[in-house]
């Protein structure tokens, strides 16, 4: 029978549970209300009080300086990197110099302490910095301390010091007491170091030393440093100092973003060759300045660029980037562009003749001369000969024949071959080609503008624009933009890669291009560029000599000589331009001076980048045809000779150890057995050290070695009876 449940007994229990639950909820609500009330009071009523307390637990945020990105060469060699440097200061107005906190003040310590006083400090500073004697440093520091208007920025040392030097200086007497007891502090700067010195220095660029106090960043000044400044400088972080556990702790609130790295197109080896070749010529002819650029024909990558100018001390330094910034009259290198336009328009053929007379031509009352007018001129020559010999009159008459009545057609032809394209160079401050239109109202043409423009006057073109034009001739007519940067990287990974950019697929027809290429080869082999001819590598190009205008007048500022071309002529790898200004020794010559630099560059670069198949090289009559073989174990010797494909006359010799000699009549190796007899000293002359030591120690003897190579003598004669433990001295040569 089922047990009956008393519902009257369960009711009181349920009520007690509900009451306890209600009591707990009520208690929690009271606690929550108290917390909420306290939070509201803290947030609104006592807000200012707690903010004031918080400010005492935290010092102002400080910027965390990011590292500026590095700049590398095309091979990955470091060309520019940042190194922190510091100026050293003492704040002589600091409280430590005016208030005594204990028995001794910092001022007393500096003046009277034997261990941490001014005498000890002066000795340490003099030893380290070496710019003053100890007495001199003491006098200098006292001058700052005793000045009527004490400085908060008294500079201890006029130059910057490295981080490692700063760590050492902080441990010097007095300074080691800390900033609050000495007033000693530093100002951080960033020094941009270039491990390769002047190599491409102006193109790489410079940075300002000061760190911007508002952003915590360094800033680029010029060159690629300025062009890619926003990528190189990174983003500063934030660092705060908080009081934790009774002490102060640095807390990085925002991590700095390090700057990206730049990999340039510069080839250190080619850059070194280019700069040295240019400077050697500048010194030889005592020129004011010179520019040289080497570009890879197929890609447009600038492999070398140097701009050297003579300093006040007579040495050459890189100060201005003439290659990209100078808008100067190109001179005779421009004649190739004029004749290309004329060939394209059907104005002339390379075999057409033009009368240059005796080297003097009067046009519109203006006198035009050829460089050989003092020798009677060239007389009647062909158009291609006018280019070979750089005849001003020959080119001018050809252009006048086709465009005298319609100069706009000539200007349009120059535009068509790409001379006026904006190359959009990566170097800030780069110039542009400026070729006046015949209908330009601001700079109207004169009666003589057309003929003078045809051979490189009355127009301004930066050297790198001229190079881009000649590079297109070398590149099958395809004009490409010169580039200085291969890629942008972050932590070694590529973020952006720069590729070849085609400006014009073709600057002229294939027929015209072939004619112009032959003309440029003729300049070097038959004309004004004979000095550029090389037996190592075939060079094609054009010489240029122009008078530099000063105040609108020529012949006062000297000459500018140039050579622009490419090599090897049959399969161009590199194009190159060299411009030299105001040579003071020798007759100004684009072929001898600038062309001489191009020849030196071409020969060295070509030699360093050429590999020969040794199997195709003609054999030297004095060469040893068979290798000199050491005596040793026969099986090991056979294995090596088989691998080298060396023939052996009698490889059937049945002996464990053999010697080998060359049979002069058969030019083959001949083996000879080396007998080994039990109890007798073996003959190890002619063996290598390894085999000789093995045989002698196996026989129970000790071995002493001197020299290197093969055994030439042994102290114990072969065939002598062996004495266990006896030492044999071996001489190796």
**CATH code, domain carrying 680:** 3.30.10.20
Q: Is residue 564 part of a domain?
A: yes
pLDDT at 5: 47
Residue 539 sits in the same domain as residue 469: yes
Question: What is the H or E stretch that residue 562 is in?
Answer: strand 559-567
C-alpha to C-alpha distance for 469 and 339, rounded to whole angstroms: 13
pLDDT at 268 over 60: yes
Residue 622: band (very low, low, confident or very high) from pLDDT cuts 50, 70, 90: low
Cβ-contact 309, 296 below 8 angstroms: no
pLDDT at 558: 83
pLDDT at 676 over 80: yes
Residue 67 sits in a domain whose CATH number is: 3.90.1310.10
pLDDT digits (tens, 9 = 90+) for 272-299: 999 999 999 999 999 999 999 999 999 9
Q: Is residue 625 part of a domain?
A: no
Mean pLDDT of 452-479: 95
C-alpha to C-alpha distance for 274 and 583, rounded to whole angstroms: 19
pLDDT at 615: 56
Kindly tell me the burial class for residue 363, based on how many C-beta atoms sit within 10 Å of its own C-beta (0-12, 13-18, 19 or more): middle
Residue 373 sits in the same domain as residue 425: yes
Question: In the listed set 221, 242, 262, which residue is the last one of a domain according to the structure?
Answer: 262
Residue 652: band (very low, low, confident or very high) from pLDDT cuts 50, 70, 90: low
Q: Which of 221-235, 370-384, 540-554, 655-669 has the lowest mean pLDDT?
A: 655-669
pLDDT at 10: 61
C-alpha to C-alpha distance for 117 and 709, rounded to whole angstroms: 65
Q: Is residue 120 part of a domain?
A: yes
Taking every pair of Cα atoms in the chain, the longest distance, rounded to a whole number of angstroms, is 150
Residue 174 sits in the same domain as residue 250: no
Report the domain count for the chain: 5
DSSP states of 608-666: HT----GGGSPPPTTS--S----BEEHHHHHHHHHHTT--BTTTT---SEEEEEEETTT
pLDDT at 632: 81
Question: What is the H or E stretch that residue 480 is in?
Answer: strand 479-480
Mean pLDDT of 497-524: 95
Residue 649 sits in the same domain as residue 689: no
C-alpha to C-alpha distance for 186 and 125, rounded to whole angstroms: 15
Residue 248 sits in the same domain as residue 228: yes
Cβ-contact 307, 320 below 8 angstroms: yes
Q: Is residue 151 part of a domain?
A: yes
Who's near 548: CB < 8 A, 6+ residues apart?
A: 328, 554, 557, 558, 559, 560, 581, 582
Residue 216 sits in the same domain as residue 313: no
Measured distance between the N- and C-terminal CA atoms of the chain, rounded to whole angstroms: 120
Residue 241 sits in the same domain as residue 379: no
C-alpha to C-alpha distance for 302 and 316, rounded to whole angstroms: 22
pLDDT digits (tens, 9 = 90+) for 156-170: 999 999 888 999 999
C-alpha to C-alpha distance for 220 and 284, rounded to whole angstroms: 35
C-alpha to C-alpha distance for 438 and 446, rounded to whole angstroms: 9
- Is 670 in a helix, a strand, or coil? strand
Three-state SS sequence of 266-317: CCHHHHHHHHHHHHHHHHHHCCCEEEEEEEECCCCEEEEEEEEEECCCCCEE
Q: Which of 223-237, 375-389, 473-487, 606-620 has the lowest mean pLDDT?
A: 606-620
pLDDT at 215: 80
Average pLDDT over the chain reads 86
Q: How are beta strands 574-581 and 289-296 bridged, if at all?
A: antiparallel
C-alpha to C-alpha distance for 12 and 318, rounded to whole angstroms: 103
C-alpha to C-alpha distance for 229 and 686, rounded to whole angstroms: 66
Tell which residue, 375, 368, 376, 290, has the closest CA to residue 588: 290
pLDDT at 149: 74
- Cα separations in angstroms, 209 against 224, 260, 360, 547: 16, 19, 57, 40
pLDDT at 467 over 70: yes
pLDDT at 621: 57
Q: Is residue 35 part of a domain?
A: no
Q: Which of 454-458, 510-514, 548-552, 712-716 has the lowest mean pLDDT?
A: 548-552
Residue 286 sits in the same domain as residue 404: yes
Tell which residue, 563, 564, 557, 560, has the closest CA to residue 581: 560
pLDDT digits (tens, 9 = 90+) for 370-421: 989 989 999 999 999 999 999 999 999 999 999 999 999 999 999 999 999 9
C-alpha to C-alpha distance for 668 and 656, rounded to whole angstroms: 21
Q: What is the domain range of residue 531?
A: 270-608
* Percentage of the chain lying above the pLDDT 90 cut: 49
Q: Is residue 493 part of a domain?
A: yes
pLDDT at 1 over 50: no
Question: What is the H or E stretch that residue 707 is in?
Answer: strand 702-707
pLDDT at 2 over 50: no
Mean pLDDT of 481-493: 93
Q: Is residue 25 part of a domain?
A: no
Mean pLDDT of 574-583: 96
Q: Which of 191-205, 570-584, 613-627, 631-645 has the lowest mean pLDDT?
A: 613-627
Residue 239 sits in the same domain as residue 254: yes
Residue 595 sits in the same domain as residue 662: no
pLDDT at 614 over 70: no
Question: What is the H or E stretch that residue 361 is in?
Answer: strand 360-363
pLDDT at 556: 55
Residue 203 DSSP label: H
Tell which residue, 530, 526, 527, 596, has the closest CA to residue 561: 596
pLDDT at 233: 87
pLDDT at 267: 94
Question: In the listed set 218, 238, 262, which residue is the last one of a domain according to the structure?
Answer: 262
pLDDT at 252 over 90: no
Question: In the listed set 262, 284, 301, which residue is the last one of a domain according to the structure?
Answer: 262
- Cα separations in angstroms, 257 against 65, 66, 69, 210, 233: 9, 6, 11, 19, 9
Q: Is residue 43 part of a domain?
A: no
Kindly tell me the burial class for residue 588, based on how many C-beta atoms sit within 10 Å of its own C-beta (0-12, 13-18, 19 or more): buried
C-alpha to C-alpha distance for 626 and 556, rounded to whole angstroms: 68
Residue 642 sits in the same domain as residue 517: no
What is the reported pTM?
0.72
- Cα separations in angstroms, 683 against 649, 664, 679, 715, 716: 23, 25, 13, 11, 9
Instruction: Please tell me which residue, 685 or 209, carries the higher pLDDT value.
Output: 685
Dihedral sign computed on CA atoms, order 504, 505, 509, 514: positive
C-alpha to C-alpha distance for 475 and 473, rounded to whole angstroms: 5
Residue 274 sits in the same domain as residue 306: yes
């Amino acid at each position: 029978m089922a047990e009956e449940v008393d519902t009257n007994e369960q009711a009181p229990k349920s009520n007690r549970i509900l009451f306890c639950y209600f009591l707990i909820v009520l208690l929690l609500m009271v606690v929550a209300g108290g917390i909420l009330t306290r939070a509201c009071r803290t947030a609104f009523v006592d807000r200012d009080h707690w903010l004031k307390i918080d400010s005492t637990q935290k010092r102002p945020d400080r910027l965390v300086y990011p590292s500026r990105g590095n700049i590398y060469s095309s091979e990955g060699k470091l060309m520019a990197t940042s190194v922190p440097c510091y100026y050293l200061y003492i704040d002589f107005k600091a409280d430590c110099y005016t208030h005594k906190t204990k028995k001794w003040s910092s001022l007393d310590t500096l003046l009277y302490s034997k261990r941490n006083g001014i005498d000890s400090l002066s000795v340490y500073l003099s030893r380290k910095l070496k710019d003053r004697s100890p007495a001199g440093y003491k006098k200098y520091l006292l001058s700052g301390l005793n000045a009527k208007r004490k400085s908060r920025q008294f500079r201890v040392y006029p130059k910057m010091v490295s981080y490692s030097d700063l760590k050492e200086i902080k441990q010097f007497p007095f300074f080691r007491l800390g900033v609050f007891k000495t007033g000693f502090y530093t100002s951080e700067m960033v020094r941009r170091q270039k491990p390769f010195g002047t190599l491409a220095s102006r193109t790489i660029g410079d940075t300002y030393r000061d760190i911007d106090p508002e952003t915590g960043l360094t800033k680029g000044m010029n060159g690629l440093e300025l062009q890619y400044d926003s990528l190189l400088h990174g983003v500063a972080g934030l660092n705060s100092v908080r009081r934790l556990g009774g002490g102060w702790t640095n807390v990085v609130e925002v991590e700095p973003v390090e700057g990206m790295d730049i990999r340039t197109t510069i080839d250190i080896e080619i850059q070194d060759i280019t700069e040295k070749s240019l400077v050697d010529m500048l010194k030889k002819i005592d020129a004011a300045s010179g520019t040289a650029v080497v570009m890879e024909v197929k890609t447009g990558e600038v492999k070398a660029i140097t701009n050297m100018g003579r300093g006040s001390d007579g040495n050459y330094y890189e100060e201005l980037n003439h290659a990209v910034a100078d808008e100067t009259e190109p001179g005779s290198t421009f004649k190739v562009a004029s004749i290309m336009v004329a060939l394209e328009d059907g104005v002339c053929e390379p075999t057409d003749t033009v009368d240059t007379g005796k080297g003097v031509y009067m046009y519109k009352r203006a006198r035009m001369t050829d460089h050989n007018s003092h020798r009677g001129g060239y007389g009647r020559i062909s158009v291609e000969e006018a280019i070979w010999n750089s005849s001003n009159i020959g080119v001018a008459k050809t252009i006048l024949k086709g465009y005298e009545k319609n100069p706009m057609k000539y200007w349009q032809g120059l535009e068509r071959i790409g001379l006026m394209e904006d190359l959009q160079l990566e170097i800030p401050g780069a110039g542009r080609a400026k070729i006046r239109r015949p209908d330009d109202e601001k700079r109207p043409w004169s009666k003589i503008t057309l003929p003078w423009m045809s051979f490189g006057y009355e127009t301004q073109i930066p050297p790198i624009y001229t190079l881009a034009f000649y590079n297109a001739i070398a590149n099958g007519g395809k004009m490409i933009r010169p580039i200085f940067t291969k890629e942008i990287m972050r932590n070694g990974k590529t973020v952006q890669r720069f590729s070849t950019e085609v400006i014009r697929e073709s600057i002229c027809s294939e027929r015209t291009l072939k004619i112009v290429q032959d003309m440029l080869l003729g300049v070097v082999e038959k004309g004004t560029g004979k000095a550029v001819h090389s037996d190592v590598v075939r060079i094609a190009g054009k010489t240029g000599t122009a008078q530099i205008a000063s105040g609108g007048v020529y012949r006062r500022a000297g000459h500018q000589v140039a050579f622009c071309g490419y090599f090897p002529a049959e399969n161009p790898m590199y194009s190159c331009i060299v411009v030299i200004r105001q040579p003071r020794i020798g007759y100004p010559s684009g072929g001898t001076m600038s062309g001489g630099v191009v020849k030196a560059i071409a020969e060295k670069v070509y030699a360093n980048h050429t590999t020969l198949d040794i199997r195709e090289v003609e054999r030297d009559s004095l060469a040893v045809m068979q290798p000199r073989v050491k005596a040793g174990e026969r099986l090991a010797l056979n294995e090596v000779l088989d691998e080298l494909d060396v023939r052996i006359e009698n490889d059937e010799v049945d002996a464990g150890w053999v010697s080998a000699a060359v049979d002069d009549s058969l030019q083959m190796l001949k083996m000879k057995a080396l007998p080994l007899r039990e109890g007798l000293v073996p003959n190890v002359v002619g063996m290598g050290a390894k085999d000789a030591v093995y045989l002698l120690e196996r026989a129970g003897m000790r071995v002493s070695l001197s020299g290197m190579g093969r055994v030439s003598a042994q102290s114990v004669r072969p065939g002598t009876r062996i004495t266990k433990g006896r030492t044999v001295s071996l001489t190796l040569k």
